[in-house]
Amino acid sequence: MTAVIDKTLETYGIDNWGADYFGINKKGNLIVRAPENEALTADIKEIVDDLQKRGVSSPVLLRFPQLLFGQIRKLQVAFRKSIKEFEYEGDHLCVFPMKVNQNRSVIEEYLREGSRYNFGLEAGSKAELYAALGLEQAKDSLLVLNGFKDREFIQLAFAGAAAGKNVVIVIEKLSELEHAIAIADETQKANPNMKIPMLGVRVKLYAKGSGKWEKSGGEAAKFGLTTTEILEVIRRLQETGRTDLLRLLHFHIGSQLTDIKRIKNAMKEAARTYSKIRQMGVPIEYLDVGGGMAVDYDGSRTSFESSANYNAREFANDVIYVIKTVCDDENVPHPTIIQESGRYLSAYHAILVTNVQDEIETVVEDLTPLNMSGSVPEVVRELHDLHETINAKNYREYYHDALEHREELFTMFNLGLISLEDKGAGEVLFWDICEKADGYAQLKKYVSEEFDDLRRLMCAKYLANFSVFRSMPDNWALEQLFPIVPIHKLNKTPTEFATLCDITCDSDGIVDKFVDLHDVKPVLELHKLVKGEPYYIAMMLVGAYQEVMGNNHNLFGVPHEAHIFIGDDGYIIKKVIFGATLGDAVSSVRYDAVQLHDTFRRAVLQKIKDGDLSSEEGNDLIHYYESQVDSYTYLTPHFLAAKEKAVGSTK
């Protein structure tokens, strides 16, 4: 059994991408380990079964705040050790970008742990700032404001500073500076003792990042000030006697930065810019190195776009060493380093678990016994002969012959020369030949490309009860890879090769690229579905961006959510938040459930009046329709539907 589990760990790469948080227990179930004590684990299958008893069916998003805590500590420890090793004289702080995951529970859990290290927040919109001002932060933490700002945005920032927050307004455009100076003058004229925000500038570096978000950096980047514009900011502050407000230099070269060399180049340029500004007599003290610290989604530890060729310690070492070297060379104080690595902090803590609802047949199966006697067309008879005589020596030749015969089959059908029954029989024989040929091909040491393509074509399509557009939008929009693994049966060898189809009415609602240590797999190894039994899979590392970027395609709303704590006695379900109902979904696009009910009721009453329905039948219809307003937007898992039907039949 141990050998099978070891093989399963390798198949799904759990030890490669799991960051020591995930594993498999003796039952063959996926587990989550507590970062503070790996001996403390939670069994995902047991949690899902428990939730099922509480009326929480899949899909369900499982949150493990302890994994968020674990990432915070890893980051803090990495920088603390680097600061000590290189005798860096500045400090390290972190601000969590709310855009990564604005969910209140996530932000509050982050602040609960991060406040121990004076970690703060970053907001990029008025709405995010409004939320942040109502949250408790550590006294010495920062609230950094990025993004384009109008006067109202800046006015709200001044309100936050007056309330005691350490607000930093990062100037993205020169017009923002003018608003900030004007409001500062108005504020301090009314009350000279009132606290006002600090200012920062975002520099547009020449250096670029790597990966899908490479365009975030460089001279053509959307955000940031040119050198000339930064000099104009300093001149304007000197002119108004407000130089003391400029305290932070910020840059950002992209999300999911895969290559540490690109990061080091950006650090050198930014550190040099910081030093030159400092030498101009500006009391700048913070260097915000932005976000972008990558998550190794596929576990390959490479510069591939879903990976990273560095870890937290190497990242910290390079940041600290490069900035220290430049500052020492320029003879300026070492700045406090601000980091906005929201993806790294939050990706691991959330897992979407859903059930496989059914299989969508790809390979044609024979529904009736083949009868080769009588007047069978020659093309069908030849396919039958190939099917009966194919073997390990001739499988390639026979596969090619089968391809030719299939074309002939379709041509003859289109010309009206064979019947629908004959066409069906020929299709069944063709796919049976393909299955046999694929089986022989996979036994070879080297599998040719044409049989790799055949395997992709023949693989099973598992219908998974979720929406890619809601829960894994980056997979659809950016081809971002997320690890996917069954949560049970992991002590059994998977026998099926499958892709995943979601339940939306969109051909893009598929997952057909999967993590692999050396490549991107076109199929995922899964277990054969057993009628009447649940089969659950987990989409891992979805805690960053996926929730906030998810959309309402087909009005599939947010899934159920459960918050899990791992303790000495196993798991504790601390909170359950039910997902979107049909009423919630339609209201999101401005339908009024009451109005819908009234319209439906009138239609039914007319049918009763016309004599098409009895009063009892009509009332039952109205009651049923109105009761659906509180139903889950996702499908009822097939095993639950069967159970409900069985229970109903006994009443």
The pLDDT value given to residue 104: 96
Which pair of structure tokens corresponds to residue 186? 């108005």
| Chain mean position to CA 504 | 18
Average pLDDT, consecutive stretches of 10 residues, N- to C-terminus, the chain (651 residues): 89 96 97 94 98 96 98 97 97 97 96 97 97 96 96 97 97 94 94 96 77 52 83 96 96 90 93 97 96 94 92 96 97 97 97 95 61 81 93 94 94 93 90 90 84 82 96 94 97 93 94 92 94 96 95 95 95 96 96 96 96 96 96 88 51 30
d(CA 31, CA 94): 29
Per DSSP (E only), the strands in 100-142 are 120-123
d(CA 364, CA 343): 43
d(CA 347, CA 218): 26
Angle, CA 405 vertex, CA 401 and CA 411 arms, to 5°: 150
Of 44, 98, 91, 90, give the one whose Cα is nearest residue 67: 44
Peptide bond before 59: cis, by omega within 30 degrees of 0?
yes
d(CA 186, CA 179): 11
Contact 78, 385 (CB under 8 A): no
Per DSSP (E only), the strands in 510-628 are 510-511, 514-515, 520-521, 524-526, 536-539, 560-567, 570-577
Residue type, 261: K
d(CA 31, CA 18): 11
Residue found by looking up tokens 């009132």 in the block? 194
| Chain mean position to CA 300 | 18
d(CA 127, CA 123): 8
The pLDDT value given to residue 299: 94
d(CA 169, CA 148): 10
Rg (CA), the chain: 30
Indicate the pTM of the whole model. Answer: 0.90
Contact 247, 198 (CB under 8 A): yes
d(CA 571, CA 590): 39
Which pair of structure tokens corresponds to residue 640? 């639950």
Alpha helices by DSSP H, listed for 115-250, are 126-133, 151-162, 174-190, 227-240
Sign for the pseudo-dihedral over CA of 133, 134, 138, 139: positive
How do 350-360 and 460-464 pair as beta strands?
antiparallel
d(CA 321, CA 48): 46
The pLDDT value given to residue 641: 66
